Structure 1
């Protein structure tokens, strides 16, 4: 069993004791608050980006996408690449499941988290922190997802942030528990929100590649990837023509995790460990402040997205975060001397809340020289 699988199962077992999890968070939140960095108020002058859209194409493996270009992603690998920067060595170096991968994007923290939508992230999202610091209404930030369970991304278990500064949600058929929605319908909802509410910050999830892969349908898995490629192109074309978004919008296209290598377990059907197929993912960055027609070899990961977005939109993520750690502890049993020959050690699981520095970094290699100078990087 890989580390990711072990931590996931442990998280699922312990996550049910929600009162314990909340108690542990409450015990350290005062420390986190005392260490957190407040916004400086300094503005990054000169950047053209005013809006950021993060598109997550759920569960696509590198070998079927950027490892076989143009293949079934001709729009991203040709036309869109010429307009932006591709990060070839992009990783999910944490927990390669849907909810953990998405939470790494939105909080900047690799956290083992229940994958069924029953557990909120331990830390506030970039949506909450942007809404608070900018004083914007809830309709200025959105999460629009084909998977209903991803409504968890809008909130946190952390008491000083829970139920505050929440983004607008449009997840699944009609919210949590309603089931997954076809990606074509999610795109319709995205276009409605963009034209009606004009949000500055938006995360989109397209789920069909992951859903059909889990169903063991190879042809529909590939079809889901090809459709997502078209949806991304359609979305970018709209942003480039719309007067509100044209010339001042960044779009980051990535995935939450890959899939097993063919030689690992049941191959492309599943994911969840630290094999190369699960961890090696991709990032295509489009926008007025990025380099054009460029390929970056520097290693970056999902937790770097929030650090990069916060720098571009002039707000700060908390510099101190809470990370749930599930550890095994060996306990010597007190045995009667008559049973010494049968003495054993016992293993128990402990959840510890670690207060640690935020690990994400600004992805400097994506930016043009002019933008780097304007950001002081």
Structure 2
């Protein structure tokens, strides 16, 4: 009888549209630190390939160059442009008039991640130092909701995320830098990764582990612990850009696209996640474009460093592909977007503002 009443209520429109259609039960968030929108939508940059910033120019051209932007971007980001472009949405192609930006004035990592997860471009967060973030973040909020307790985790290559996400206050599972997964029931693969990450060369220094390790941890954690929200933060694109190594910047971007594809394929073959999971991919800030060497940099004084992008795919997101409308979105809107994809409303009890959700990502 209850089932018949429910069906009747949906049929005559008594239940709200969100209750009738909402399918997302899990969210995976991925960030590619400092990845420019220019490469995402245009592919490899011919000026940078021809410059002193690129070694092995002919090899790079063979791997990443094609005559059209559509061909080039698919060579660089095959998952974005063969799967998300058909089944999801991509925002931030300024060549089409669609803009995505950070709202914070600083345009570097800590302020960018604070904005994404707190929905608030806090002018106090003008640092990459290990300062504990006073603002409540959306992962912390979700972790306190019924059915999500202990089901939210973050894996990051850069060591700063325990402060950005205020692990001490939030109680979130945050594994960043060279922090081990210290769960006593961790499987043998995770225990092996705990050992491996300390033994591989620290090419990125002692504060940032290889993105491969971050990906492997995330994958194994999903397999064993079935989190409902997982955040995976890559870093190497930013490192290679700061080093002025355009070849490695492109190679790391393609590699991370491959990690994301493998993760998506895995969850789509897992009945816990299949057709119940939304994936959101973005970055923390943009980079410069002109003069040419400004691609290495970002920050308040770098023109274009506020210009960003994001992509979404999931059961509640219309498959409209590349968004071509002349609108502008801000990263302060992503926290509420993540919450509403899960049927929640992010309310920051610390009293700070929260940007409105990007409602076009939901049916």
1:221 Cα offset (Å) = 1.2
Q: How does 1:18-29 map to 2 (within 5 A)?
A: none
- Residues 118 and 136 of structure 2 are in contact (CA less than 8 Å); yes or no, is this contact kept in structure 1? yes
1:212 Cα offset (Å) = 1.2
2:310 aligned residue: 283
Please say which structure displays the higher CA radius of gyration: 1
2:219 aligned residue: 191
1:92 aligned residue: 102
What TM-score results when the alignment is normalised by the length of structure 2? 0.72
CA distance 1:43–1:291, change in 2 (3 Å): closer
Cα distance in 2 for partners of 1:309, 1:111 equals 19
1:114 Cα offset (Å) = 4.8
1:179 aligns with 2:207: yes
Runs of 4+ in 1 over 6 A off after TM superposition: none
1:81 aligns with 2:85: yes
1:34 aligned residue: none
1:146 aligned residue: 157
- Residues 119 and 353 of structure 2 are in contact (CA less than 8 Å); yes or no, is this contact kept in structure 1? no
- Residues 43 and 314 of structure 1 are in contact (CA less than 8 Å); yes or no, is this contact kept in structure 2? no
Cα distance in 1 for partners of 2:270, 2:75 equals 29
- Residues 61 and 277 of structure 1 are in contact (CA less than 8 Å); yes or no, is this contact kept in structure 2? no
> How far does the alpha carbon of each residue in 1:14-51 deviate from its partner, in whole angstroms, 9 at most, with x for none?
xxxxxxxxxxxxxxxxxxxxxxxxxxxx9952310000
Cα distance in 2 for partners of 1:87, 1:165 equals 30
1:131 aligned residue: 143
Cα distance in 1 for partners of 2:291, 2:206 equals 35
- Residues 137 and 165 of structure 2 are in contact (CA less than 8 Å); yes or no, is this contact kept in structure 1? yes
CA distance 1:164–1:149, change in 2 (3 Å): closer
Tell me the number of residue pairs that the alignment of Structure 1 and Structure 2 aligns.
284
Cα distance in 2 for partners of 1:185, 1:104 equals 26
Cα distance in 2 for partners of 1:125, 1:87 equals 23
SS at match of 2:308: strand
> How far does the alpha carbon of each residue in 1:296-323 deviate from its partner, in whole angstroms, 9 at most, with x for none?
233111111111111222333226756x
What TM-score results when the alignment is normalised by the length of structure 1? 0.70
> How far does the alpha carbon of each residue in 1:176-222 deviate from its partner, in whole angstroms, 9 at most, with x for none?
x9521111111100011101111111111111100111122221111
1:107 aligned residue: 118
CA distance 1:304–1:278, change in 2 (3 Å): same
SS at match of 2:249: helix
CA distance 1:274–1:116, change in 2 (3 Å): closer
1:275 Cα offset (Å) = 5.0
Cα distance in 2 for partners of 1:151, 1:319 equals 19
1:57 aligns with 2:85: no
2:285 aligned residue: 257
1:269 Cα offset (Å) = 1.1
2:11 aligned residue: none
CA distance 1:274–1:65, change in 2 (3 Å): farther
1:318 aligns with 2:347: yes
1:164 Cα offset (Å) = 3.7
Name stretches of at least 5 consecutive residues in structure 1 with no aligned partner: 1-41, 157-162, 323-355, 369-377
2:297 aligned residue: 270
> How far does the alpha carbon of each residue in 1:326-376 deviate from its partner, in whole angstroms, 9 at most, with x for none?
xxxxxxxxxxxxxxxxxxxxxxxxxxxxxx543x112111223xxxxxxxx
CA distance 1:260–1:321, change in 2 (3 Å): farther
- Residues 294 and 302 of structure 2 are in contact (CA less than 8 Å); yes or no, is this contact kept in structure 1? no
Give me the CA root mean square deviation: 2.3
Name stretches of at least 5 consecutive residues in structure 2 with no aligned partner: 1-15, 44-72, 93-98, 181-204
SS at match of 1:285: strand
CA distance 1:276–1:54, change in 2 (3 Å): farther
